[in-house]
Chains A and B, each alone.
Chain A
Amino acid sequence: AIQMTQSPSSLSASVGDRVTITCRASQFIRNDLGWYQQKPGTAPKLLIYSASTLQRGVPSRFSGSGSGTDFTLTISSLQPEDFATYYCLQDYIYPWTFGQGTKVEI
């Protein structure tokens, strides 16, 4: 199975900061990667699919980039509602695999 290595596992940031999270695949996955946000006690929410396409309704401060094996999620100006855990998910080949998550804290 493809391994997804996400970094950092956690980070501390302030409102207004630019935040970058990376995800590396153990093998080529084209651009078949999504980013998900999860807040405590709730289901994950799709933010970005196909590595860089913003899901409808997601604020434009979120952006994704990358292809092949290296991917990045960027939050351009962190807002209070963005404090959450973020996961990447490769949907290139079964079994799909998630990164281990990045907790964004104040």
Chain B
Amino acid sequence: QVHLMESGGGVVQPGGSLRLSCAVSGFTFSTFDMHWVRQAPGKGLEWVACIRNDGSNKYYVDSVKGRFTISRDNSRNTLFLQMNSLTVEDTAVYYCAKDRLSVASLDYWGQGTLVTVSS
């Protein structure tokens, strides 16, 4: 059974940093690309970042480039999102999501972790 669980969310001041983790089980983690998607309170979904299965390529939405870094540890079945220079606009629930193998789409999601950037 596929399972994704995010952790690491919390309250942080503007300009601060936070590292999110996503622990997965139930599938061969090293085979699949992985993503982060966020949702600001009361707003729609925003795709944030993707990392290839072997970590060879990473992609970001423009608004987080240079501030966020996606990474993974395939030996620990864990996905990460290092978030630096946080602003109030980064306040959101952050979801990790698994990509399908042959056709891109997000077929499994975690329950999300809330990041609040506030002074």
* A residues in contact (CB < 8 Å) with B: 1, 32, 34, 36, 38, 42-46, 49-50, 53, 55, 87, 89, 91, 94-101
Mask, B21-44, CB within 8 Å of A = 1, is: 000000000000001010000001
User: Does A55 lie within 8 Å of B107, measured CB to CB?
Assistant: yes
Given the interface pairs A1-B62, A95-B60, A95-B62, the reply to whether A46 lies near B47 with Cβ below 8 Å is: no
B89 within 8 A of A: no
Contact of B47 among A32, A38, A43, A96 (CB under 8 A): A96
B40 to chain A, nearest CB (A): 12
Shortest 6 CB-CB contacts between residues of A and residues of B: A49-B105, A43-B109, A94-B59, A91-B104, A96-B47, A34-B105
Q: Which residues of B contact A (CB under 8 A)?
A: 35, 37, 44-47, 50, 59-62, 95, 100, 103-107, 109-112
CB distance from A102 to the nearest CB of B (A): 10
Summarize A's interface: helix, strand, loop or mixed: loop
| Complex: A36 Cα to B44 Cα, angstroms | 12
- Residues of B contacting A44 in the complex (Cβ-Cβ under 8 angstroms): 37, 45, 95, 106, 109
Known contacts A44-B106, A44-B109, A50-B103; A97/B47 CB under 8 A: yes
Which A residues are in CB contact (< 8 Å) with B106? 34, 36, 44, 46, 89
In Å, the complex CA distance between A46 and B47 comes to 14
CB B53 to nearest CB in A, in angstroms, measures: 15
A95 touches B109 (CB 8 A): no
Instruction: Knowing that A36-B45, A94-B50, A96-B50 touch, tell me 15 more A-B residue pairs with CB under 8 angstroms.
Output: A34-B106, A43-B95, A43-B109, A44-B45, A44-B95, A44-B109, A49-B104, A50-B105, A53-B103, A55-B105, A87-B45, A94-B59, A97-B47, A98-B47, A101-B44
For A45, the chain B residues whose CB sits under 8 A away are 109
